[in-house]
């Protein structure tokens, strides 16, 4: 762009290494999915995708991930707001805890969640008294997916809230708006795009989630069998083409999610003027 940039060395080296590493370890292996899915021929692709069990699992994965994203949207927005705007004891601790799902292995989260929400667990026994089944039911899957997606909403929103300029809120207050009006008509519209971007990322992470779900879901065919689990089962049956076909559908969803979240981020920038 400007001349001083050329002062710095290593452009070719770093770009070359990055692109080679990325292509060899991610892009080329991912292209195998399309190749293998096609290797079974179109009839097999259609047969796989119209199979009731596959449709049920895709519906379950996308449905529970969607609900989890909605829950995370609400609680993530409140948490990010509290962390950025208020001073309270334990704020830094809370802030650090947000990243727990990044750092805690999914299998560990999985066995902890199922122990909590099983009918004899701390929360599960309470829910059982009210005839609510969490573990081994879609509700349990949704809880696990809420767990894994939460940091994405908070971490997307925090810098946006921090950069929100106070002037507009002051202006609204000066013009006679009460705090509630300012929040709903000035602040919330400014935060909406990033909230949606964060929810999209949480959704994207949740759709493919495996480790924290397989323990709590119970894995009943047609009922609590998520799509990633079905992929592993197809692989174990050596139906590579079938597994790859389901994989292609999920990969397409991942690409769409990345694209949508990028568009939402741009929208957010245009709204908050960053």
Question: Which residue in the set 18, 125, 181, 270 belongs to the binding site for other proteins (CB under 8 A)?
Answer: 18
Question: Measured from the CB atom, is 137 or 246 closer to other proteins?
Answer: 246
Does 64 participate in binding other proteins (rule CB under 8 A)? Answer: no
Q: Is 166 in the site for other proteins (CB under 8 A)?
A: yes
Half-sphere exposure of 64 (CA within 13 A, CB side): 31
Minimum distance of other proteins from residue 267's CB (angstroms): 16
**Running DSSP on this structure, what letter comes out for residue 186?**
I
Of the listed pieces 50-58, 62-70, 124-132, 251-259, which binds other proteins according to CB under 8 A? 251-259
Interface with other proteins includes 262 (CB under 8 A)?
yes
CA distance 86 to 56: 44
Interaction between residue 66 and other proteins (CB under 8 A): no
Q: Token digits for 260?
A: 């949508």
Closer residue to other proteins, CB minimum distance, 46 or 259: 259
Pick out residues in 167-196 that bind other proteins (CB under 8 A).
169-170, 173-174, 179, 182-183
DSSP at 36: H
Among 41, 55, 59, 107, binds other proteins (CB under 8 A): 107
Q: Is 46 in the site for other proteins (CB under 8 A)?
A: no
Does 3 bind other proteins (CB under 8 A)? Our answer is no
Whether residue 220 contacts residue 19, with contact meaning beta carbons closer than 8 Å, is answered with: no
90, 98, 159, 207 from 94: Cα distances, Å = 6, 7, 16, 26
Q: Tell the burial category of 88 from Cβ atoms under 10 Å away from its Cβ (0-12, 13-18, 19+).
A: exposed
């Amino acid at each position: 762009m400007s001349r001083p940039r050329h002062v710095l060395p290593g452009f070719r080296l770093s770009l070359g290494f990055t692109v080679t590493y990325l292509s060899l370890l991610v892009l080329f292996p991912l292209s195998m999915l399309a190749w293998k899915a096609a290797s079974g021929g179109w009839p097999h692709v259609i047969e796989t995708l119209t199979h009731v069990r596959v449709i049920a699992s895709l519906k379950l994965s996308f449905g529970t991930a969607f609900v989890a994203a909605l829950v995370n949207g609400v609680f993530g927005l409140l948490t990010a707001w509290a962390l950025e705007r208020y001073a309270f004891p334990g704020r830094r601790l809370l802030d650090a805890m947000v990243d727990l799902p990044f750092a805690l292995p999914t299998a560990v989260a999985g066995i902890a969640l199922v122990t909590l929400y099983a009918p004899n667990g701390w929360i599960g026994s309470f829910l059982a008294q009210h005839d609510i089944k969490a573990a081994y039911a879609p509700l349990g899957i949704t809880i696990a997916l809420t767990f894994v997606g939460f940091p994405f909403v908070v971490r997307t929103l925090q810098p946006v809230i921090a950069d929100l300029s106070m002037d507009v809120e002051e202006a609204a207050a000066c013009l006679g708006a009460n705090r509630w009006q300012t929040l709903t008509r000035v602040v919330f519209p400014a935060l909406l795009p990033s909230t949606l971007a964060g929810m999209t990322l949480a959704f994207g992470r949740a759709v493919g989630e495996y480790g924290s779900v397989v323990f709590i879901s119970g894995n009943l065919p047609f009922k609590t069998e998520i799509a990633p689990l079905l992929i592993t089962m197809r692989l174990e049956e050596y139906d590579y083409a079938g597994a790859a076909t389901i994989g292609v559908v999920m990969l397409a969803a991942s690409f769409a999610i990345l694209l949508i979240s990028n568009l939402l981020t741009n929208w957010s920038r245009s709204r908050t003027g960053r």
